Structure 1
């Protein structure tokens, strides 16, 4: 278990993280979403004790805290962060990097071979990393995290530079690690992918963590909660609100209008369809609120 208790971080008088209280449990993938510079990486660095909070405590497994160097060593056997590509040594091969990480965390050496196979790295893993492409280096960094085999894994932009096939491969590995009981915290700009693999997703706003499910009742539900209308004219929007005064409409910066129909029955949904067609709004669909919608609401403006 990983607990964040009243975490605060300030830089130059600005709140980067403010009053963060959250608990993460074994067998969870946690998604973090926000534009660059809003606190995602800072939060991970606080969890690793690379950045010390101005106030608050990180607690691992109910009682371990960063109160001494000895405790830090113990925590870092439980919590690891995926290395950055700049951490790679160009004169060493990929497999040498994996052996170093396996040795540092005293994990099972058989993980090296199985991870190489799972990530299709056999053709280049024995070559020096200075010859690797961006995607190859990213896969190696992910593989290093996996062979460390810690109960808690932090990953900042794990999918960076990867093609769709490798995004799919890594997603399947993450889901397998979740089944093994790992706590995995992933920050990513690939929102559809993050939505598909995460158990809980948090946005950053004014230094605080906000659970997307608390923001929109329609997020993540396997039922119709939203009518999505493309390029809904203002006059049609106003007319709609006059006819359906209890209905909430969220207009996004990308030209999409979301009509909240969470509590609507079939007859009410049919009335909306008739209204949209009568007002020449034919580009619409039924579904639910997506993570892309949430991102647009929070970070790209709208009304």
Structure 2
């Protein structure tokens, strides 16, 4: 379990970052984190995995504040970034053996991981000769050697062919069954809808949606909006995450009771509809 408590972080000379983020990531669940480029997804992942220092009381891993035990996040959390990082002169198998110098897993563990990612037939290929999809799968294979409780995949599906996407989808579901905590970001909303248990939408560093995957739970959501005023902001802050644009405040909710002054625009169970609605700009 990862608990994030009112976390804010901004880069120097930039407004990019995350603002007042409170989230939980549970074991045995796949959480999809989606948002436009610059919405704060990668920053959030770097904060969770210890690549960026955080203030005390903001991120708890297994009820331990990672500020006081930063090694914990390194030992319990693995992250795979969207740009594959492999040793190109080495073969697939040599890459695995090189990284395994750190983790000292049995040889059969390497074989099992390569099999899981359909890389066995390529184990003697130099990494520089692999396609982008195969390189990404090798990148994930080296990550899996760590065998941590939490696995973060930052845009793992970008630029992949349909076969690679299917292989990764099946991999995510297998590791969910193993009781791992999986966090996946992707721009392919149809894939997020297929594999996730929980969906989080970030916009300009803020959480604007955080719910059980509506298509899986068969939950109907109301898409509603009101004028962007100070009073309406105070009102919505008491209800839940909302999206803000120049003229409108927008909320996606299962319960319209008490939403006085809100205009219900439509109803949906589709992630894409919710995402597009919350990302509207006026």
TM-score normalised by structure 1 residue count: 0.71
| In the alignment, structure 1 residue 292 sits paired with structure 2 residue 260 | no
Structure 2 SS opposite 1:91: coil
Aligned length: 243
Show the counterpart of 2:24: 23
Show the counterpart of 2:250: none
Taking the aligned partners of 2:219 and 2:206, their CA distance within structure 1 comes to: 29
Structure 2 SS opposite 1:189: coil
Structure 2 SS opposite 1:23: strand
Structure 1 SS opposite 2:58: strand
| Superposition pairs of residues 75-86 of structure 1, within 5 angstroms | 75-83=73-81, 85-86=83-84
| In the alignment, structure 1 residue 35 sits paired with structure 2 residue 36 | yes
1:113-171 C-alpha deviation (Å, 9 max, x unpaired)? 12212222123222221111111111111212222211101110111222222211211
| Superposition pairs of residues 187-266 of structure 1, within 5 angstroms | 187-213=185-211, 220-222=216-218, 250=265, 259-260=266-267
For residue 108 of structure 1, report the CA deviation from its aligned partner: 4.8
Structure 2 SS opposite 1:14: coil
Over the aligned positions, Cα root-mean-square deviation in angstroms equals 2.8
Show the counterpart of 2:169: 171
Q: Which stretch of the first structure deviates more once superposed, 163-172 or 192-201?
A: 163-172
Query: Structure 1 107/299 Cα, relative in aligned 2: closer, same or farther at 3 Å?
Result: farther
**Structure 2 contact 33–200 (Cα < 8 Å) conserved:** yes
Taking the aligned partners of 1:183 and 1:101, their CA distance within structure 2 comes to: 22
Structure 1 SS opposite 2:121: coil
Query: Structure 1 57/99 Cα, relative in aligned 2: closer, same or farther at 3 Å?
Result: farther
1:247-301 C-alpha deviation (Å, 9 max, x unpaired)? 9663xxxxxxxx43xxxxxxxxxxxxxxxxxxxxxxxxxxx43111122112244
Taking the aligned partners of 2:138 and 2:14, their CA distance within structure 1 comes to: 38
Query: Structure 1 106/47 Cα, relative in aligned 2: closer, same or farther at 3 Å?
Result: farther
Give unmatched runs, 5+ long, in structure 2: 223-261
Show the counterpart of 2:159: 161
Taking the aligned partners of 1:46 and 1:223, their CA distance within structure 2 comes to: 31
Show the counterpart of 1:229: none
**Structure 2 contact 47–53 (Cα < 8 Å) conserved:** yes
Show the counterpart of 2:4: 4
Structure 2 SS opposite 1:76: helix
Query: Structure 1 177/62 Cα, relative in aligned 2: closer, same or farther at 3 Å?
Result: same
Show the counterpart of 2:70: 72
TM-score normalised by structure 2 residue count: 0.76
Show the counterpart of 1:235: none
| Superposition pairs of residues 31-70 of structure 1, within 5 angstroms | 31-53=32-54, 57-67=58-68
Taking the aligned partners of 2:210 and 2:60, their CA distance within structure 1 comes to: 24
Query: Structure 1 210/54 Cα, relative in aligned 2: closer, same or farther at 3 Å?
Result: same
Query: Structure 1 108/18 Cα, relative in aligned 2: closer, same or farther at 3 Å?
Result: farther
